[in-house]
Amino acid sequence: MKRLLFILSFALLLSGCTTRVQYTTVELRDPVRHYYPILQGQELTVTVRVNNTGKVPLVIRDIQPSCGCIVVDGDQEMVIPPERYASVTLRYDSRKNVGRVEHSIRFWGNISPSGMAELRFDVHVVPDANYHHDYEEMFDKEESARKLRDYLKSRGESSGMGYYVDR
């Protein structure tokens, strides 16, 4: 009798471990982005809005950037309830890149149909001038970065997010 009770308890325990998470649909806001140029050494902050458009909770197990120069702020594992969204912030460090660079960030979870959603972005990293800096430039790097940002903004942005998308 004890043996039968043990076997039934073990079978009940094993049957409770086979729960599978159902797939859900996801929408990334602007999944292909083109950021405006930045100076080499500057950080670019990329904020991604992940919308769970399905009927079951979205369980993101991992966020994988394509480069070690991209760091995820906060937790890489999260649960997003149905019909809700979460914002994920990434920081891109441009110290080791020059020219046009392309990166992707993959979100892994119970995402229909392949288990993955991807954000791609590109940015042009402008190298520092190849000459000796004068006294004012040595102590005013932030001012020159601000001037570059102001110049780029004066040329017109198609969104207030600091990037433009293909339409």
Asked whether the CA dihedral 34, 39, 41, 45 is positive or negative, the reply is: negative
Residue 11 inside a domain? The answer is no
| Residues making up the chain, counted from first to last | 167
Specify the DSSP class assigned to residue 96.
Answer: T
Tens digits of per-residue pLDDT, 130-158?
655 565 655 666 676 677 667 666 554 44
Environment class of 141 (CB within 10 Å of its CB; exposed 0-12, middle 13-18, buried 19+): middle
CATH code: domain of residue 25: 2.60.40.10
Predicted local confidence at residue 127, as pLDDT: 84
Please indicate, yes or no, if residue 135 is contained in any of the structural domains. yes
Q: What is the pTM of this model?
A: 0.71
Q: What is the overall mean pLDDT for the chain?
A: 82
* Helix, strand, coil content of the chain in percent (nearest 5): 20, 40, 40
List the domain range (segments joined by +) for residue 121.
20-164
Q: What is the pLDDT of residues 31-81, one digit of tens each?
A: 999 998 988 888 999 999 999 999 999 999 999 999 999 999 988 889 999
